[in-house]
Homo-oligomer: A and B are copies of this chain.
Amino acid sequence: MADLSSLLEARYGTTSSGSAAPPAASIAANLTLQTLLQHKSVRSFLPDPLDPGTLEILTAAAQSAATSSNLQTWSAIAITTPSLKSQAATLCGDQAFIRAAPLFIIFCADLARLTTTCAQHGTPGTGLQFLEMYTMAAIDASLAAQNATVAAESLGLGACYVGAARNRPRELASLLSLPPRVVALFGLAVGRPDPGAPPATVKPRLAQDEVVRRETWGQTDESQQKKGAANLAAYDEALADFNTKQGRGDAPAWTYRSAHRIATVESLHGRDIFREVLEERGFKLR
């Protein structure tokens, strides 16, 4: 088993002042922590189908995640048929790794099931009119998906989330015959990592104190702003170091790339209509 210090160092990268990782303290490592900390997005898959029972275990892991008030406001579609998977891939940013993966799961916010229970018991379902319920469903679906991902990785499989499932939401809903009040939020490609491809790597993240704050957000005074700017500059440096080691020394800085990723309507790759599609699909957003 890897020691926690080296896992943390890979996760936070290196700046000119050394490792950006927090100290590992005295927490005992375990295989689950190792699986979590070593996560990397895998985009090169062997074509082999998954072992029988794999989808059932991923499903059980997903369903084992917490769900708000046990309402279970999510659903998923597991696609394995090559022709259908290829069409889904086309709609999801036309990404070849989705076609290559033996399993592509589309996770959905699902308020259709609750609509059924309301009809069954003659209640008005007024709560369904509010953005709150879309929020709840998106959270439920995401907790479930992350458990499926961790389960897959514990079995030696690789996975990659596909936010591009929101790029052409009308067409994807049509392809999958989604009913009203169900919307695809993201995909998850799953398969056995191709040992012949360049190995996926652990990508450094922002410094811990940039992301998780203590007790309150902290004052928005000048010293805090300086701290934030220093954190972003250090992260630009850590990612540049990482990219150089990966042979991508010419990659733009994170702050630059992230600013451009959301600069224009076009940079959303079609997702500017997502709210409109949600409303078409029967999600009320009061």
Contacts and interface: CB of A to CB of B under 8 A. Distances in A.
Interface in A1-30: 4, 7-8, 11-12, 21-27, 30
A259 B126 contact: no
A153 to B, nearest CB: 8
Contacts of A160: 66
Nearest to A213: B77
Contacts of A186: 139
A263 B123 CA distance: 6
Interface in A53-75: 53-57, 59-72, 74-75
A217 B127 contact: no
Contacts of A7: 60
Contact of A32 (B53, B123, B125, B150): B150
A166 to B, nearest CB: 7
A220 interface: yes
A261 interface: yes
Given A179-B217, A275-B131, A121 B72 contact: no
B37 A123 contact: no
Contact of A263 (B116, B127, B259): B127
A35 B160 CA distance: 22
A163 B208 contact: no
Interface string A218-232: 111000000011001
B126 A265 contact: yes
A138 interface: yes
B259 A118 contact: yes
Interface residues of A, number: 136
Interface string A170-200: 0000011111001001100000000000000
A94 interface: no
A98 to B, nearest CB: 15
A240 B7 CA distance: 44
A142 interface: yes
B32 A212 contact: no
Given A68-B161, A71-B258, 19 more contacts: A25-B57, A27-B53, A33-B154, A36-B65, A39-B65, A39-B66, A63-B206, A75-B211, A80-B215, A114-B259, A121-B255, A123-B262, A126-B267, A128-B262, A130-B268, A130-B274, A130-B275, A139-B185, A179-B217
24 contacts: A21-B60, A23-B53, A24-B53, A25-B57, A27-B51, A27-B155, A31-B31, A31-B32, A32-B150, A32-B154, A39-B64, A41-B66, A67-B205, A78-B212, A118-B262, A120-B232, A121-B256, A127-B264, A135-B274, A139-B141, A143-B146, A176-B216, A177-B216, A275-B285
